[in-house]
Amino acid sequence: MTHRFPIGARVSVSSSFPPGHVRTPFFVRGKTGIVTEVAGEFPNPEELAYGRDGLPARTLFRVTFLQQDLWPDYAGGAGDTTVVDIFEHWLQEADASEGAAGKGERAHV
Amino acid sequence: MRRHHDMGGLDAGPVEQNEHDYAPWEKRVDAILRLLSAPGRRMITVDELRRGIEELGPGAYDEMSYYERWIASVTNNLVEKGTLTVEELGRKMAEVEARWDADRAAHKNSQEERAQ
Amino acid sequence: MSENGNDQQDGGHSHGHAHDHSHRHPFQPDLEDGGYSYYQVMTEAVAELLLEKAVITSEELRKTVESIDSKSPAFGARMVARAWVDPDFKARMLDDVIAAADELGIDAGGIPIKAIENTDRVHNVIVCTLCSCYPRLLIGLPPDWYKARAYRSRVVREPRAVLEEFGTSIPDDMEVRVHDSTADLRYMVLPARPKGTEALDEEALAALVTRDCMIGTAVPKSN
């Protein structure tokens, strides 16, 4: 199956803050990571939450972030990571300059 | 912009490694949700449960226990869907409360009798 | 006290003596010693209304509570021990936990569970920063701290400090990988087999695998 983002793709999470039920944590919005796995196709939780069927299903990607890209003051190992499951409509292809330790856009705090 | 349930990365104190055995009523809440969300029934989705919990507002995390949030959300969802009405809930809750009060009084009496 | 108030037949209204244990509304033991809360009353009312309306049956409710009670970390531990002694099983478990559980006669439910393997280079730990996602259909209900603010807030930002609070030190040259179960998958950690356990059989190995080892806040110890 072909997906919008292949494994290894560098992706940015939308820096978007809509009201309502979403499953994209605040701490990754606006951040850049790498698609490390395709988790599958699932009905859209943002629709399911309001009693609709969530179809067509969306692709859920597992995106790996370097901790240093998430937290400028991260004190642990340089290779430490967090993996978050993110639906395709929250992701866009990242500029080559984004992410990879310290260069990621800071989320609005 | 950050919603209150969305906690990753916030400052917080040490992890208090306490736990409790779940009470029967808590398991009951869990069971009700499982039954209502089961494939085949699909009367409420997990995302509707989650949305309902999020909509309880910022105070809910401090004022309500975990399964209190769950049953509040399940109940709100069932009312929204028309499965239950507010009127039915009001009547049934009053009935349950009256019954439990009576049961407790009877239970206490019988314990006192036994102690004599 | 074993009676848990789940054997009522329907929302019947005749109300006799509180100590008749065949009573249609058995007195709930968790209410005996203290007051009851508004939400406990709500729970009872919702359950009774759903039974009266035949949305659910008392049999289903009883069986579902029994199923909740029957789950325990021991099921996950059995799978981990099998994975340690049988590389082919491990491969199948990493591919599909539910199918691998089924091989051992374990019902892991219908929500996809993914096993993530600890190695000598990577230590994994799971969390749900948005709510409380957890492989509960396999290893039971999560501990309170897993659902509480401190763990959910901090483990993504300072995982090593949180692990230290659990007595788990991860060497600096290993990667700590946090998995935030935000969506449709549930995660369990497949811990690494501790050294010095070569002589142990599968049952003894399973006894080393605690719930926290499968969350990733602990690692199995060989003694």
Reported ipTM: 0.95
Answer yes or no: is pLDDT of C7 > 80: no
Domain match, C105 and C209 both: yes
The pLDDT mean for chain C works out to 88
Of A68-77, A92-101, B85-94, C157-166, the poorest mean pLDDT is in: A92-101
Domain match, C130 and C210 both: yes
* Shortest Cα–Cα distance, A13 to chain C (Å): 14
Domain match, C36 and C16 both: yes
| Pairwise CB contact (< 8 Å): A26 & B51 | no
Domain match, C187 and C134 both: yes
Please, which contacts does A40-47 make with residues 24 or more away whose CB atoms are closer than 8 Å?
A40/C112, A40/C184, A40/C185, A42/A87, A42/C183, A42/C184, A44/A87, A44/A89, A45/A21, A45/A87, A45/B47, A45/B50, A45/C183, A45/C184, A46/A20, A46/A21, A46/A22, A46/B47
Answer yes or no: is pLDDT of B74 > 50: yes
Answer yes or no: is pLDDT of C144 > 90: yes
> Would you place residue B113 in the very low, low, confident or very high pLDDT band (cuts 50, 70, 90)?
confident
Kindly report the CATH class assigned to A10-93.
mainly beta
Point out the domain boundary residue: C70, C93, C120: C70
Mean pLDDT of C153-174: 98
Q: Which residue of B has its CA nearest to A70?
A: B9
Answer yes or no: is pLDDT of C15 > 70: no
Answer yes or no: is pLDDT of C196 > 90: yes
With contacts defined as CB-CB under 8 Å, which chain B residues touch A54?
Answer: 47
Domain match, C77 and C152 both: yes
Report the share of chain C in percent with pLDDT over 70: 84
Q: How far apart, in whole angstroms, are the C-alpha atoms of residue C103 and residue C96?
A: 11
Answer yes or no: is pLDDT of C13 > 70: no
Answer yes or no: is pLDDT of C25 > 60: no
pLDDT at residue C161, rounded to an integer: 98
Domain ranges of chain B: 24-84, 85-116
Whether residue C223 lies inside any domain: the answer is no
Q: How far apart, in whole angstroms, are the C-alpha atoms of residue A90 and residue A31?
A: 11
Of A64-78, A92-106, B27-41, C34-48, the poorest mean pLDDT is in: A92-106
Write out pLDDT tens, residues C61-98: 999 999 999 999 999 999 999 999 999 999 999 999 99
Which of B9, B14, B15 has its CB closest to that of C156?
B9
Any B CB within 8 A of C144 CB = yes
Write out pLDDT tens, residues C90-114: 999 999 999 999 999 999 999 999 9
Report the share of chain B in percent with pLDDT over 90: 78
pLDDT at residue C34, rounded to an integer: 67
CB C140 within 8 A of CB B22: no
Whether residue C221 lies inside any domain: the answer is no
Residues belonging to chain B:
116
Answer yes or no: is pLDDT of C32 > 70: no
Interface mutation target, options A23, A70, A91, chain C, most CBs of C under 10 Å = A23
User: Side chain identity at B87, as an amino acid letter?
Assistant: E
Domain CATH number, residue C210: 3.90.330.10
Residues in chain A with pLDDT values less than 50: 101-109
Helix locations, chain C, DSSP H: 29-32, 38-52, 58-70, 73-85, 87-95, 97-103, 136-139, 144-147, 149-154, 159-165, 202-206, 211-215
Write the Ramachandran bin of A54: left for phi over 0, alpha for psi from -120 to 50, otherwise beta: left
**Residue C182 domain boundaries:** 72-215
Mean pLDDT of B40-56: 95
Domain total in chain C: 2
The pLDDT mean for chain B works out to 94
